Amino acid sequence: MAERSLTLRNDQEAQALFGKHDQHLRKVEQALGVSIVARGEELKISGADESISKTLRLFDDLFVVIRSGAPLRKEDLDYALKALSDPRLIQLRQIYQERIEVPSRRRFIIPRTPGQKVYVEAMRSHDIVFAIGPAGTGKTYLGMAMAVENLTKGEVSRIILTRPAVEAGEKLGYLPGDIAEKINPYLRPLYDALYEMMEVDMVQRYIDRGIIEVAPLAFMRGRTLNDSFIILDEAQNSTSEQMKMFLTRLGFDSKAVITGDVTQVDLPPDRVSGLVHVQEILQDVPGLRFVGFSGQDVVRHELVQSIIEAYDRADRNNHGKSG
């Protein structure tokens, strides 16, 4: 039985590492077969040499998260433990180095999975990025964060957020209210994400001055969008014609991010999703990037990931039976 000591920088770092009621330490002990005793800011780790080495490597990764100012979440610890034994997984420290700066109390947004890290890298290096995958994988959220970072750093002069006004078979004409009231429910998720990146009064000022524009996809027709960061959300509900129209709006010094889930198409059965079609015709075009997400990239409640995986299994079984 070997023993190693580890000294923490301060009490705040110790609290973040230990977790509420020391739950992080207890999980590490169980997963790696070590005993961890905390005395103030010093840790004593006992166990087999290999287990202690893994524990120290794990803590090195966790310190990157803690010292970045981000909260250490249960999901971060679970991922870091998995990465110790699965060489296919990217180290937690590498994920947290891809921070996106935003002008809110959060200060920055961080990709939390390998898929999200690839997505952030793609947005930094490509003018057009397609992000395709299930809900909860951060497609819109990270796209919005990147748009806000580009705006605040002066890399673009405005943000344009758009989505098709088609959901669950509803038609705008049957909804109550004037055109703004009819459209607003479809655009609400974009506002929700935006308010997490910027203070509310700043968002309102930018909207009033036209620096941030939130509008239905149909309102993009006939425009040329220069010096802009444009996000097309819920793109699976765009038609092929709308997708072509949107992509040809891109002007000089602009970037576009197109997000959607091709398993959640609300178009009539006789209409082809523009997001499905565009993968067939633009897959080999240089200068743009397709990024795929899976249930492993879901960062919502852990039950959401389980639900998505259960639906994926059911779909595979149904396809197998029909084949």
Are 104 and 87 in a shared domain? no
Are 37 and 106 in a shared domain? no
Are 161 and 281 in a shared domain? yes
Give the CATH number for residue 164: 3.40.50.300
Domain count, the chain: 2
* Mean pLDDT rounded to a whole number for the chain: 86
Q: Identify the domain boundary among 41, 64, 94.
A: 94
Candidates 85, 136, 135, 137; CA nearest to 114 is 137
pTM score of the predicted model: 0.75
pLDDT of residue 44: 92
Are 54 and 153 in a shared domain? no
Are 78 and 141 in a shared domain? no
More confident: 92 or 123 = 123
Q: Identify the domain boundary among 33, 63, 94.
A: 94
Query: What average pLDDT does range 101-130 have in this prediction?
Result: 89
Q: Tens digits of per-residue pLDDT, 39-96?
A: 878 899 999 999 999 999 999 989 988 887 777 888 789 888 988 887 767 777 887 7
Instruction: Domain of residue 90: give its range.
Output: 2-94
Tally the C-alpha atoms within 13 A of residue 305's C-alpha that lie toward its C-beta: 14
Q: Which helix (H) or strand (E) holds 29?
A: helix 23-32
- CB of 265 within 8 A of CB of 132? no
Are 135 and 80 in a shared domain? no
Are 34 and 125 in a shared domain? no
pLDDT of residue 302: 66
- CB of 258 within 8 A of CB of 131? yes
Residue 289, strand partner residues: 129
Q: Identify the domain boundary among 58, 79, 94.
A: 94
| Top-ranked range on mean pLDDT: pick from 66-75, 164-173, 266-275, 310-319 | 266-275
Are 54 and 123 in a shared domain? no
Give the CATH number for residue 80: 3.30.1370.10
What's the 3-state SS for the chain?
CEEEEEECCCHHHHHHHHCHHHHHHHHHHHHHCCEEEEECCEEEEEECHHHHHHHHHHHHHHHHHHHCCCCCCHHHHHHHHHHHHCCCCCCHHHHHCCCEECCCCCCEECCCCHHHHHHHHHHHHCCEEEEECCCCCCHHHHHHHHHHHHHHCCCCCEEEEEECCCECCECHHHCCCCHHHHHHHHHHHHHHHHHHHCCHHHHHHHHHCCCEEEEEHHHHCCCCECCEEEEECCHHHCEHHHHHHHHCCECCCCEEEEEECCCCCCCCCCCCEHHHHHHHHHCCCCCEEEEECCHHHCCCCHHHHHHHHHHHHHHHHHHHHHC
Indicate whether 303 pLDDT > 80.
no
Which range (76-90, 97-111, 166-180) has the least confidence?
166-180
Are 163 and 296 in a shared domain? yes
Are 301 and 228 in a shared domain? yes
Are 122 and 251 in a shared domain? yes
Are 84 and 107 in a shared domain? no
